[in-house]
Amino acid sequence: MSTPVLAVVGHPNKGKSSIVATLAHDLSVRIAPEPGTTIRSRRYPMKVDGRVLYELVDTPGFQRARRALAWMREHETTAAQHAAVVSRFVETHRPSGEFEDECALLEPIAQGAGILYVVDGSKPYGPEYEAEMEILRWTGRPRMALVNPIGAADHIEEWQAALKQYFGIVRVFNAMSANFTKQVELLRAFGQLDESWTKRFDEAVRALEADRRERHRLAARAIAETMAEMIVLVVSQSVSREADPTRAEQALERRYLDELRSLENRGRLAVERIYDHGGMNRRETAFELLEHDLFAEESWSLWGLTPTQLALTGALGGAAAGGGIDLAVGGASLMLASLIGATVGAAAAWFGSDRIAEVKIAGVLPLGGKRFTVGPSRNVNLPYVILGRALHHQRLVALRTHAHRDPLDVPPPDTTRAWIDELPSTRRRALERCFTRLRKEQDSGPAVDALAAQLEALSGEVDAVR
Ligand SMILES: Nc1nc2c(ncn2[C@@H]2O[C@H](COP(=O)(O)OP(=O)(O)OP(=O)(O)O)[C@@H](O)[C@H]2O)c(=O)[nH]1
Ligand SMILES: [Mg+2]
């Protein structure tokens, strides 16, 4: 069985390369707002274990479809000869460079590729597309039309009415926003184009799904490893007798918070690489929105557990029993706050930065100075804030198609606190047990494994959305 090849063709600037990038998960595909970005055909094989399951060919857009069709009509004899005339067109014009774009896009089709014809469903249909579609019909190859709505206007119905006359299958497929389920559905539809392709595309779907599960697993592990480092982080500093201890304490606190932030950022980069988005930029201003700082009050009310949830999870009980937090003052008022139903915002101050970094004196130095340390944080809510932010970022990255060339734009989530409020309490308690183990156990390996296992299910939930 020969490898199915699909040539992605159409008018210039309609999102052909964007569709290739999305399906091939490839950031190296050239995409730009100007027409004429793709100037020669390029193949993108989908490989599993070294074996190519199918190939996409990105092509330049039609430039002179009417003239090309006119040539073909002049050389036409019978309908049975149409495909041969298209091949002759390519052979005749290839050497001279005339009809360069038409030759580049028709060549793979003449060699046996199927056709994916891409149009922009946000622009009105017009007869100028008919020469292109007629040429493609002449090739007699299996073909599907993809309506990619680039803008907001909706001309999809009129497009469908026209496209159905030329293409066996017509689908709407948005290159920028197609989620994993939509990509899988499209692959299955490719398998319907030609009977001899069905098995191959079923195989491709299975391979893609296995690959996706593996990436979610790796992302869960990367998040668990980052959390482990953040939870046990300690920084220390020796301060001489002459130095101002208050300033030294403040500097050490800042260093501790900076190191937490930089660990968080490292975790994010790892997750971006896992989903093959390693090369992208981040929009700083927008990034700050998500990043609106780990220690900002909004972060705590958005990502952390409420006082009641903390109490139900056992986080407070466990920490208090272990002498982890001082319940005498803050704890009592916290409990009171939860009892009288105080808002999370009000409680956030208590949960917030003042209790994350607490400077302790680790020892007195021989010549009189002191050794200060900060960390590990005893703040019971910190792991939940870190985890909420990590899962939000992972979701944005996992759902981002490879057609995007703009920096990662990361707004706060639409549904405030959804992640944690929707977590079943059994899972919350399981997470809490993992956090406690991370704080207590010398060898963090088994606790990281346990946390990664808990996070795997959460990490895969991004694909549950249809
Ligand atoms: N918003 C949005 N923009 C899109 C979509 N698909 C493509 N674009 C944009 O449209 C422009 C053209 O996309 P390309 O994928 O380069 O189009 P093309 O058909 O390969 O263009 P040529 O190679 O020049 O023929 C780029 O700026 C894309 O970012 C989409 O689904 N939504
Ligand atoms: Mg292109």
| pLDDT tens digits for range 276-297 | 998 776 653 333 333 445 666 6
Atom of ligand 1 nearest to the CA of 151: 1
Mean pLDDT confidence for 447-466: 88
Beta-strand pair 370-374/42-48: unpaired
Mean pLDDT confidence for 436-443: 92
| pLDDT tens digits for range 8-48 | 999 999 999 999 999 999 999 999 999 999 999 999 999 88
CA 68 to ligand 1 center in whole angstroms: 24
Q: Is 121 in the pocket of ligand 1 (CB under 6 A)?
A: no
Q: pLDDT at position 102, please? A: 97
User: At residue 76, does pLDDT exceed 70?
Assistant: yes
189 vs 198: CA distance, rounded Å: 9
Q: pLDDT at position 148, please? A: 97
DSSP state of 443: S
Percent residues over pLDDT 70 in the chain? 83
User: At residue 75, does pLDDT exceed 60?
Assistant: yes
Neighbours of 234 (CB within 10 A): 13
pTM for the predicted model, two decimal places: 0.87
Query: Which ligand has an atom closest to residue 11 CA?
Result: 1
> Phi then psi for 63, rounded to 5 degrees?
-110, -40
Q: pLDDT at position 320, please? A: 38
Mutate to test the pocket of ligand 1, among 17, 23, 402 (most ligand atoms within 8 A of CB): 17
203 vs 205: CA distance, rounded Å: 5
Atom of ligand 1 nearest to the CA of 36: 24
CA torsion angle for 428, 431, 437, 443 (degrees, to 10)? 180
Atom of ligand 1 nearest to the CA of 14: 19
135 vs 317: CA distance, rounded Å: 73
CA 41 to ligand 2 center in whole angstroms: 9
CA 33 to ligand 1 center in whole angstroms: 6
Query: Which ligand has an atom closest to residue 10 CA?
Result: 1
Query: Which ligand has an atom closest to residue 182 CA?
Result: 1
Atom of ligand 1 nearest to the CA of 176: 31
Mean pLDDT confidence for 195-222: 95
User: At residue 146, does pLDDT exceed 60?
Assistant: yes
